[in-house]
Amino acid sequence: MKKVSFKRIDILVLSILILIVFYIFYRINIYIDYHWQWHRVVDYIINKDEKGYHFGLLSKGLFYTLKLSMWSIIFSIILGFIFGTFRSFKRPFFRFGSLIYVELNRNIPPLILIFIFYFFISDQIFTLFEVEYFIRNLGKTAREIITIFFAPPNLISSFFAGVLALSVFESAYIAEIVKAGIESVDVGQKEAAKALGLSKYQILRYVTIPQASKVIIPPLSNQCISTIKDSSIVSVIAIPELTFQGMEMMSATYLSYETWITVTFFYFILTFSLSMLNKKIERTYTLNF
């Protein structure tokens, strides 16, 4: 890596940025005359009583955001790969089917998608299959496992509605990424594989995908970080994730600035650690080829 040297202009820009940050805090303190009460925030992250330590409202929200993003990322990658590969197929059924899927989901605001899933789909489908009833009648351990990995039974339908809406929304973008990756593989490669007598599936599995993944992985990891950030919009259907809990905390305590600075910091920790992890994956992956 080349050594980076600071030029005069860099120092100037940096000091202006620092000045702006200080000015904002100065305005909050002097002009708005805001009473900072940071000590109250600590209790909402972790607190202690005679029974021991408890996770506070915000930490619980953070766990929900983690669960929500994890499932959404998994499902959106699966869906994205399916529809992305469909687009490279010659059959019009697959090609146009996935085209419609991608364009429909890419051109609807995610907020609207969430309302559609919450009010229509989760209502109709979950009631039809009696998902909630089924989960409640499971054994205690099974219920606990579902609560840990997904959500408690009373929140399960809104949780799934949120996960589904997010997965569908993100998968449209992932499908585009996958399609671009597959298209990036030289036609000659496929023709050579065909000439060697490989089947359609074998070509996809051993020739196209390994080469395409090099192109796919960087934007894909970007999309995963996006999913975490986008998960904040499910707060509108009252899933107790980080943003919703932040709003709840603000309603109860009226600590607007402290709440949102803490929530911002939490999101940053999540996305930043994921982007560090992605860098590592990218590096090892590119070395292997």
Number of residues that bind other proteins (CB under 8 A): 35
181 in Cβ contact with 187 (< 8 Å): no
**Among the listed residues 254, 265, 268, 285, the single contact to other proteins using CB under 8 A:** 254
Q: Which tokens belong to 150?
A: 């997904």
Q: State in angstroms the smallest separation of the CB of 160 from other proteins.
A: 13
Backbone torsion region of residue 49, taken as left when φ is above 0, otherwise alpha when ψ lies between -120 and 50, otherwise beta: beta
Based on the shown chain and the rule CB under 8 A, indicate whether residue 248 belongs to the binding site for other proteins: yes
Q: State in angstroms the smallest separation of the CB of 264 from other proteins.
A: 17
Q: State in angstroms the smallest separation of the CB of 140 from other proteins.
A: 15
Measured CA to CA, the distance from residue 22 to residue 14 in angstroms comes to 12
Write the DSSP string, 230-272: HGGGGGGGT--SHHHHHHHHHHHH--HHHHHHHHHHHHHHHHH
Q: State in angstroms the smallest separation of the CB of 252 from other proteins.
A: 4
Per DSSP (E only), the strands in the chain are 46-49, 52-55
Residue 110: how many CB atoms within 10 A of its CB?
Answer: 16
**Among the listed residues 69, 85, 243, 245, the single contact to other proteins using CB under 8 A:** 245
Residue 155 DSSP class: G
Based on the shown chain and the rule CB under 8 A, indicate whether residue 250 belongs to the binding site for other proteins: yes
Based on the shown chain and the rule CB under 8 A, indicate whether residue 241 belongs to the binding site for other proteins: no
Using the minimum distance from each CB to other proteins, give the nearer residue, 146 or 250.
250
**Among the listed residues 131, 198, 247, 274, the single contact to other proteins using CB under 8 A:** 247
Measured CA to CA, the distance from residue 175 to residue 180 in angstroms comes to 9
Based on the shown chain and the rule CB under 8 A, indicate whether residue 264 belongs to the binding site for other proteins: no
Measured CA to CA, the distance from residue 272 to residue 278 in angstroms comes to 10
Residue 2 DSSP class: P
Measured CA to CA, the distance from residue 115 to residue 98 in angstroms comes to 23
**Among the listed residues 251, 276, 284, 287, the single contact to other proteins using CB under 8 A:** 251
Q: State in angstroms the smallest separation of the CB of 241 from other proteins.
A: 12
69 in Cβ contact with 271 (< 8 Å): no
Based on the shown chain and the rule CB under 8 A, indicate whether residue 26 belongs to the binding site for other proteins: no
Stretch of 32-40, 92-100, 139-147, 220-228 contacting other proteins, by CB under 8 A: 32-40
Using the minimum distance from each CB to other proteins, give the nearer residue, 254 or 272.
254
Using the minimum distance from each CB to other proteins, give the nearer residue, 100 or 252.
252
Place of tokens 């860098």: 279
Q: State in angstroms the smallest separation of the CB of 121 from other proteins.
A: 11
Based on the shown chain and the rule CB under 8 A, indicate whether residue 199 belongs to the binding site for other proteins: no
For helices 38-45 and 57-86, angle between their N-to-C axes, nearest 10 degrees? 60
Q: State in angstroms the smallest separation of the CB of 69 from other proteins.
A: 19
Contacts with other proteins, residue ranges (CB under 8 A): 32-34, 40, 43-44, 47, 54-57, 60, 119, 123, 127, 133, 136, 154-155, 157-158, 236, 238, 240, 244-245, 247-254, 256
